[in-house]
Structure 1
Amino acid sequence: MSFQSATTLTKIAFIAMCIGLLLFIIGFSTDFWVKAYGHRGIYVHLGLWGFAAYMSFWQATQAMECIGLILGVIALILVILYLFVDQFRGNKNIVLYSLVSAIAAGIFITIGIIIWGTHYPSYQLGWSFALACVGGVFLFLAGLLLIPEKKPQLI
């Protein structure tokens, strides 16, 4: 199986995974997760890595988002191996590991987003937070799109 002979759903899953991971990495690494006016009307914005925060919810969010990032990268690497490396073409186990990794990445990212979002009013959440949300959804959906590829052919 090459990229040209891959199913349409597998191609869409690959593209969704690439887009989702890109959006998530941008959101993960930028510092506009929350925006507000601080003391004396000074505009501030913070991200996951803006400063050393020792609050448990902050560290929990960082942990969940890091796990989601690692799983998303693993999922993308496995799909690339499945689609483009002769040795792994047609290996349904690679598809299984990739879809599990992508779905798990989406779940971990969502858990981190929920932890973070419960500590700030929605009007304070910034565009970095939004990109991380959308990236997590794309990764989760990409994993779901790989499920038919794993199922055995009936004919």
Structure 2
Amino acid sequence: MAFNTSSIWIKVGFICLILGTILFVIGFATTAWMVIDSYRGHSDEYGLWRHKSCPYIGTCTSQKITERWLDSWTSRDSYRATRAFESIGLGCQLLALFIMILFVFVDRAKRRSPLIAIVVFCIVGAVCMAIGFVIFAMEFDRRDVGWSMGVAIAGCVLTFVAGIMGILELKG
């Protein structure tokens, strides 16, 4: 198995990239990027793709965030920009993971160019994710950031660490 012959930098980067992808996908898909709690037990959660409303404790409804819904909202451009940057970041992250799997487990793929591609996709993905986080946080600063965004940020950090591990492998 080629994993045993990989350097420590690649092993750490591989594990970070797998964990980062799992965490980012969980954060990307869930509804608690922004949480608005009001008195009387009512709360609203907004994710990138769904909105969850709990008017009473124990009674929650979830609906898809559509273009019509966004058009009625004053922050629609920021929401769309956040979605776009997070989607680009996820795409880069998945490409990096695919190339990393080939690099680790296929002996013929252990060359410099796939490693450079891994580094580029990890760093570009992490930067796009970070831009999306900043746009979201700047626009919705008057509300509470939810756990979904925190999990997505953790996935972004791990992806960046995987890119750094690739750079260390290139230097070594």
Query: TM (normalized to structure 2)?
Result: 0.82
Question: Which shifted more, 71-80 or 45-54?
Answer: 45-54
Rounded to whole Å, the distance in 1 between the matches of 2:166 and 2:143 is 35
Alignment of 1:1-155 (within 5 A): 2-37=2-37, 42-50=42-50, 51-52=65-66, 53-54=70-71, 55-88=76-109, 90-121=110-141, 124-151=144-171
Rounded to whole Å, the distance in 2 between the matches of 1:77 and 1:56 is 32
- Amino acid of the structure 1 residue aligned with 2:93: G
Q: SS of the residue aligned with 1:44?
A: strand
Rounded to whole Å, the distance in 1 between the matches of 2:105 and 2:138 is 41
Higher strand share: 2
Question: Which shifted more, 57-66 or 40-49?
Answer: 40-49
Aligned identity (percent) is 32
Q: Give the aligned length.
A: 151
Superposed displacement of residue 98, structure 1:
0.5
Query: TM (normalized to structure 1)?
Result: 0.91
Rounded to whole Å, the distance in 2 between the matches of 1:29 and 1:38 is 24
Superposed displacement of residue 38, structure 1:
5.5
Question: Which shifted more, 39-48 or 19-28?
Answer: 39-48
Superposed displacement of residue 41, structure 1:
5.8
- Amino acid of the structure 1 residue aligned with 2:168: P
Stretches of structure 1 that go unaligned for 5 or more consecutive residues are: none
* Larger CA Rg, structure 1 vs 2: 2
